[in-house]
């Protein structure tokens, strides 16, 4: 017997039993098509925490009252502001506190880390990545290869998909690593692929890559705040992520980085240095020699973007309150309910249209990528007109992300009802 029901009463009952349902009240919901929209786009831009404006306003007030003295005397002094995010960030990604730092933006961090960890030599120069990465990643890989005087067409290896399949099998990823062997310099994969929503087995990929002598990094843009991570225990060399998706820090917000402890004091690693990565004890004496701070902090370039970090602090407090274990448990249930509701939609519109799911059932976070057999963009637009905010990806995918921090079972049920209407009106 299926444990789900495609009824409003079931959804309301499930929400009543949700131990973290109250977190929903900690966010602002947009008004598009209705007074309060149903928001399934946290995989693109997270909702605004209610406290974000309070925290940003505090920094504006301190700036206005203190000027430059705010660096040391603001209520949350700006000089060490990134430290206020360190412990919660470490918990979020499964790292030690000195292995993480909040800084820059995602692609900037990927470039800075590849300067240190993509070191092609002789026949070992290839970069392996998943099929269909986010375009920014592909551009970063190609430009790094070109920077070393290599032909990106030879250096970049995009994992192939099996005929008729739209996601990777883990055994194929491992086999590709083994086949590349001593020609492989770097594995850099999106922990969760942005398009398909596939979660990769980061632990086994890291182990396989290390066995052939390669370095391993992950782009965690769609993983951080979405799935439990154990970067230190998995022995990952480095990782980077943004904070404007599942971490709810606002458009273009500050990003994060992880560097494994074993690299913390390796001064032989080349890096593009900036004064904020220098030893803070001597930072303001302006030494001519760069002395990197231990850990991920040593990859910092510039001082903290305080307003962006203030919004992130508001969100990270909610992650600490909820805990990734509870968020993950709700995510699994909520996403499974969405999968069930999509099946019910297909039954209701049988013969009119079909909604497929390309996201692997056992390897996913909260995103389901729905393939619409016809009129997909029109259906997406009809959902939006009905107050259901999802994400359209060319040529035929609607990405739906029921984020456990603020989405409900009732949201999912209402999405299903709206999807039926959208399909029937665009058949």
What is the span of the domain harbouring residue 409? 8-30+323-425
Query: Backbone dihedral region of 390: left (phi > 0), alpha (psi from -120 to 50 degrees) or beta?
Result: beta
Q: Domain check: are 67 and 122 in the same one?
A: yes
Tell me whether residue 264 is in a domain. yes
The pLDDT of residue 363 is 97
DSSP string, 245-268: STT---TT--EEEEE-GGGTT-TT
The pLDDT of residue 424 is 93
Tell me whether residue 413 is in a domain. yes
Query: Quick one: average pLDDT of 6-25?
Result: 97
Biggest CA–CA distance in the chain, Å, is 73
Half-sphere exposure of 349 (CA within 13 A, CB side): 25
Tell me whether residue 50 is in a domain. no
The pLDDT confidence band at residue 1, using thresholds 50, 70 and 90, is very low
Tell me whether residue 306 is in a domain. yes
Q: Domain check: are 24 and 94 in the same one?
A: no
Q: Domain check: are 281 and 142 in the same one?
A: yes
Q: Are residues 217 and 128 in contact, defined by beta-carbon separation less than 8 angstroms?
A: no
Tell me whether residue 36 is in a domain. no
Percent above pLDDT 70 for the chain: 99
Q: Please write the tens of the pLDDT for every residue from 147-175.
A: 999 999 999 999 999 999 999 999 999 99
Distance of CA 184 to the CA centre of its chain: 25
Q: Domain check: are 186 and 74 in the same one?
A: yes
Q: Give Cα separations from 363 to 95, 259, 296, 334 (angstroms).
A: 22, 25, 29, 15
The pLDDT confidence band at residue 284, using thresholds 50, 70 and 90, is confident
Which strand (E) or helix (H) includes residue 158? strand 156-158
Q: Domain check: are 91 and 180 in the same one?
A: yes
Q: Are residues 198 and 400 in contact, defined by beta-carbon separation less than 8 angstroms?
A: no
Q: Domain check: are 204 and 75 in the same one?
A: yes
Where residue 263 sits, what CATH number does that domain have? Answer: 3.40.640.10
- 292, 322, 352 - which closes a domain: 322
Q: Domain check: are 18 and 62 in the same one?
A: no
Q: Are residues 144 and 118 in contact, defined by beta-carbon separation less than 8 angstroms?
A: yes
CA angle 321/15/368 to nearest 5° reads 85
Tell if the pTM clears 0.75, that is, is over it.
yes
The pLDDT of residue 15 is 98
Tell me whether residue 42 is in a domain. no
Query: Quick one: average pLDDT of 41-68?
Result: 98
Q: Domain check: are 17 and 128 in the same one?
A: no
Q: Domain check: are 171 and 260 in the same one?
A: yes
Q: Domain check: are 225 and 313 in the same one?
A: yes
Q: Please write the tens of the pLDDT for every residue from 337-368.
A: 999 999 999 999 987 788 999 999 999 999 99
- 294, 322, 350 - which closes a domain: 322
Q: Domain check: are 313 and 346 in the same one?
A: no
Q: Give Cα separations from 31 to 377, 399, 416, 420 (angstroms).
A: 21, 20, 19, 22
Query: Quick one: average pLDDT of 104-116?
Result: 98
Q: Give Cα separations from 384 to 84, 109, 192, 284, 406 (angstroms).
A: 38, 34, 25, 52, 19
Tell me whether residue 35 is in a domain. no
The pLDDT of residue 365 is 97
Tell me whether residue 204 is in a domain. yes
> From the CB of residue 34, how many other CB atoms can be counted at a distance below 10 Å?
13
Helix residue spans in 182-230 (DSSP H): 202-211
Residue 312 has pLDDT above 90, yes or no: yes
Residue 327 has pLDDT above 90, yes or no: yes
Residue 2 has pLDDT above 70, yes or no: no
What is the spatial distance between Cα 338 and Cα 389, in angstroms, rounded to a whole number? 15
Q: Please write the tens of the pLDDT for every residue from 210-265.
A: 999 999 999 999 999 999 999 999 999 999 999 999 999 999 999 999 999 999 88
Residue 300 has pLDDT above 90, yes or no: yes
The pLDDT of residue 33 is 66
The pLDDT of residue 281 is 85
DSSP designation for 304: -
- Counted domains in the chain: 2
Where residue 376 sits, what CATH number does that domain have? Answer: 3.90.1150.10
Q: Domain check: are 363 and 402 in the same one?
A: yes
Residue 19 has pLDDT above 50, yes or no: yes
Paired tokens of 414 = 């209402």
- 264, 299, 322 - which closes a domain: 322
Residue 28 has pLDDT above 50, yes or no: yes
């Amino acid at each position: 017997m299926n444990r789900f029901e495609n009824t409003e009463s079931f959804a309301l009952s499930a929400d009543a039993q949700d131990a973290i349902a109250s977190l929903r009240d900690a966010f602002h919901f947009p008004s598009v098509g209705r007074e309060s929209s149903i928001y399934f786009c946290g995989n693109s831009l997270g909702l605004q925490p209610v406290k974000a404006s309070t925290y940003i306003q505090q920094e504006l007030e301190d700036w206005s009252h203190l000027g430059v003295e705010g660096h040391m005397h603001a209520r949350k002094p700006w000089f060490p502001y990134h430290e206020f995010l360190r412990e919660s960030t470490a918990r979020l990604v499964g790292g030690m506190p000195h292995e993480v730092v909040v800084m820059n933006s995602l692609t900037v961090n990927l470039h800075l880390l590849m300067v240190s960890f993509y070191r092609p030599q002789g026949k070992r120069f290839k970069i392996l990545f998943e099929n269909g990465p986010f375009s920014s990643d592909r551009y970063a890989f190609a430009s790094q290869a070109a920077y070393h005087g290599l032909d990106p067409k030879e250096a970049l290896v995009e994992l192939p998909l099996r005929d008729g399949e739209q996601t990777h099998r883990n055994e194929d990823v491992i086999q590709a690593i083994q086949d590349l062997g001593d020609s492989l310099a770097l594995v850099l994969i999106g922990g969760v692929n942005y398009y398909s929503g596939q979660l990769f087995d980061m632990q086994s990929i890291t182990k396989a890559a290390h066995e052939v002598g390669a370095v391993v990094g992950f782009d965690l843009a769609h993983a951080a705040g979405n799935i439990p991570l154990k970067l230190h225990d998995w022995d990952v060399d480095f990782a980077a992520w943004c904070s404007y998706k599942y971490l709810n820090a606002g458009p273009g917000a500050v990003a994060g980085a992880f560097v494994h402890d074993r690299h913390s004091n390796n001064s032989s690693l080349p890096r593009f240095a900036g004064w904020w990565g220098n030893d803070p004890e001597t930072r303001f004496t302006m030494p001519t020699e760069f002395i990197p701070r231990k850990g991920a902090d040593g990859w910092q370039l510039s001082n903290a973007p305080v307003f962006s970090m203030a919004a992130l602090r508001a969100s990270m407090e909610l992650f600490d309150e909820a805990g990734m274990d509870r968020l993950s448990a709700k995510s699994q249930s909520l996403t499974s309910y969405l999968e069930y509701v999509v099946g019910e939609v297909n039954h209701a519109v049988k013969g009119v249209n079909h909604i497929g799911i390309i996201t692997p059932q056992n390897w996913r976070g909260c995103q389901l990528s729905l393939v619409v057999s016809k009129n997909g963009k029109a259906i997406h637009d009809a959902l939006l007109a009905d107050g259901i905010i999802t994400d359209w990806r060319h040529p035929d995918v609607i990405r739906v992300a029921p984020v456990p921090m603020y989405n409900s079972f009732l949201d999912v049920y209402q999405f299903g009802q709206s999807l039926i209407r959208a399909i029937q009106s665009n058949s």
